[in-house]
A and B are shown apart, each in its own frame.
Chain A
């Protein structure tokens, strides 16, 4: 399977990353065969696509440890954009981070980033590198506060909001994580994976914090279920969305009202609670869809091969658990 280097897929798996980085020498070789000077003016290969390809190659090369190709690509980027370019500075930092082996070297990198930011506080790529380095060093609190500062300057940065949400989630600060994910959704309202992620956070926080308050519990579960619904409405074959619908159901089912009329007071909830029959029908739909996804992706049918292996295994296991509880 070949990967488009200009628009690579999100969440590149280690295998794909290796495939990409193995193409690096070939791409580097083909681009070095340019015409001599006066003729080279007649062939404009200085396209944005070319440099995007280089950037993607660079990241994959660093990931797979192909430092030689990464160095070559970085040199090309340096020659083209100079060492004052913000993105190039960030890539140089990445290269140095990849080669930093000891704690001291990482701390030295942090200090360098700090100096660069002091001379130019608007350098967002470097700021993000510093946060990423702090996260990987385990200094989550510092990373969170710096990310907060970054988002005060640039509150429309969905990537930064998502990262902050993950950091908060790792610290079990569920309300903050929810808030950040809502901000992500405000920037990109149709990102179904973000809807599903928000549903997951809401579900886990509800289970963790309000299991002794039945009203809050019910509301959180209903909210989570509806978020999952939204994510599969946006992407009709989204595995995580259906998986979530199935996971939410057992805790929601015993408390769901029988009919619309005896839903608890809507005042403390944004929406009335879903009825028992709705929950059941959604569960049927999710089961059917999950079964279809697992079957077709296992058979490797055309158009169904993009699913993550671990996710389909988990879905199969969830379905098996169902059949066992019915048969026993």
Chain B
């Protein structure tokens, strides 16, 4: 096997200025636009009712008591435990004590839930629409540069380092040549690279909590119920399981043997 032939493709140097830079600039501008569109589309979260706040925080109180039980004396712990467990079992902390035991309402019929879903939809739209538009635009606008008969995608840059053929799908999407050196990058691929790589630029321009990046949004959609009571969960069941957790907890007072601990560590 001899040395592989070095591929030289003659391309207009103006390609660099008229394709590479425009795509990058357009991507940055779209990101900024997306940020402001998301800000505009955001609805203020709906206010919780007094009962809901109480329900949630009473549950949190039980969680705190369970995790930090050791800082208070056994007697103080026992009295709190008795109070919370009986309250949890009676359902006296529930926002809607009459609704105990009924099946949780259909999330679709709950207006608060619908609003949350609308918010998610809006986020999705703000993410998907520009993405689709720009991809179509790049495909339509920059694909006319004929370089070889089989490929009608322009090739932009030659990376200054060699790569394995596995990168072909990433760097030359839409180019139908098997033998082309992987170091050539097509315009569509450049679009994808900027799509995922512009986050630091947005951070610089818009501050760290911008909505320009779709990756962060996708992350947020993975667990929409993070924080707060999980949507659709029956609070009564949560209370009962928390009561069970509290009942089995073993109390180990933190002040037990503290003098020796302190003297051993400091003296």
Contacts and interface: CB of A to CB of B under 8 A. Distances in A.
A152 B61 CA distance: 11
B149 interface: no
A278 B258 CA distance: 11
Contacts of B205: 42-44
A156 B60 CA distance: 7
B73 A270 contact: yes
Interface string B228-267: 0000000000000000000000000111101111110111
A68 to B, nearest CB: 29
B36 A45 contact: no
A278 B75 contact: no
A310 interface: no
A236 B70 CA distance: 20
A270 B74 contact: yes
A227 B71 CA distance: 10
Contacts of B75: 270
Given A122-B48, A186-B65, A270-B73, A229 B54 contact: no
Interface string B114-155: 000000000000000000000000000000000000000000
B54 A233 contact: no
A156 B59 CA distance: 9
B226 interface: no
A314 interface: no
A152 B54 contact: yes
B10 interface: no
Contacts of B60: 155-156
Nearest to B48: A122
Contact of B207 (A47, A156, A189): A47
A229 B50 CA distance: 40
Contacts of A121: 50
A236 B266 CA distance: 8
Interface residues of B, number: 43
Contacts of A299: none
Contacts of B267: 281, 284-285
Contacts of B206: 44
B259 A274 contact: yes
Secondary structure at the B interface, as helix, strand, loop or mixed, is: helix
Contact of A185 (B47, B72, B209): B72
A223 B73 contact: yes
Given A152-B54, A186-B64, A186-B72, A270 B253 contact: yes
B49 interface: yes
B24 interface: no
B57 A154 contact: yes
Contacts of B261: 233
B259 A155 contact: no
A46 B164 CA distance: 44
A199 to B, nearest CB: 10
Contacts of A225: 259
A48 interface: yes
Nearest to B265: A233
B210 interface: yes
Contact of B50 (A47, A153, A278): A153
A46 B207 contact: yes
B43 interface: no
Interface string B55-86: 00110110011001111111110000000000
A276 to B, nearest CB: 12
A226 B255 contact: yes
A71 interface: no
B61 to A, nearest CB: 5
B255 to A, nearest CB: 4
Contacts of B255: 223, 226-227, 229-230, 271
A270 B256 CA distance: 9
Contacts of A47: 207-209
Contact of B71 (A153, A185, A270): A185
A326 interface: no
B32 interface: yes
Contacts of A18: none
Contacts of A274: 259
A189 B54 CA distance: 22
A229 B260 CA distance: 10
Contact of A44 (B58, B61, B210): B210
A249 to B, nearest CB: 12
Nearest 7 A-B pairs (CB), nearest first?
A44-B206, A226-B255, A189-B68, A44-B207, A229-B258, A189-B71, A155-B61
Given A42-B205, A179-B76, A281-B263, 7 more contacts: A44-B210, A153-B54, A185-B72, A186-B64, A229-B262, A232-B266, A233-B258
Interface of A: 41-48, 120-122, 152-157, 179, 182, 185-187, 189, 223, 225-227, 229-230, 232-233, 236, 270-271, 274, 278, 281-282, 284-285, 289
11 contacts: A43-B205, A122-B53, A152-B54, A156-B57, A186-B61, A186-B71, A226-B255, A229-B255, A229-B259, A230-B254, A230-B255
